[in-house]
Amino acid sequence: MRVAILTVSTSRAAAVGGDESGDALEQFARAIGGEIVAREIVSDERATIEQRLRHLSDVERCDLVLSTGGTGVAPRDVTPEATRAVIEREVPGIAEAMRQASSAHTTNWLLSRGVAGIRGATLIINFPGNPRSITQTTSAIEPSLPHALALIAGTPTAHR
């Protein structure tokens, strides 16, 4: 499975600090058998996020694109809007499961606006920018990802 990781952070794009959230997503992707084919950091600019999501889906032909950051309620948090602009179909259950998993760990879980959806044969999932939130939410979606990715790729699967 070809996986790309896109960290959305103006400060990280300016090379201020490490990319712990990207590291957490890379660890998750490798744990589910993913091959990391791209790992990028971009600023919180909607047009740039949209362009990179299109490129990773259409040119790099990633099966899975995991983004981190820009999913909150601050004025610069535009990752969900950029994602919605490029996906063809939303998969709301993924984002709902992630928010539900977060609710056990923080009272701010309801401020997360991350989305998940499909562009062509690529599943795009927005994660929060907090590395702890990533590790807290991946277990909620991990069991369903192989089935979802197989269906998106057109592979026959047994329905559970």
7: containing domain: 2-153
pLDDT for residue 14: 73
Residue 126 lies in a domain: yes
**Nearest CA to 101 among 134, 65, 67?**
134
Calculate mean pLDDT across residues 98-127: 95
Residue 128 lies in a domain: yes
Residue 159 lies in a domain: no
Pairing of strands 122-127, 116-119: antiparallel
Backbone angles phi, psi at 37, to 5 degrees: -105, -15
Instruction: Identify the bridge partners of residue 6 per DSSP, sorted by sequence position.
Output: 40, 67
| SS3 assignment, position 39 | strand
Domains identified in the chain, total number = 1
Residue 21 lies in a domain: yes
Q: Can you give the CATH number for the domain in which 35 is found?
A: 3.40.980.10
Residue 160 lies in a domain: no
Residue 158 lies in a domain: no
69-98: per-residue pLDDT in tens? 999 999 999 999 999 999 999 999 999 999
pLDDT for residue 157: 75
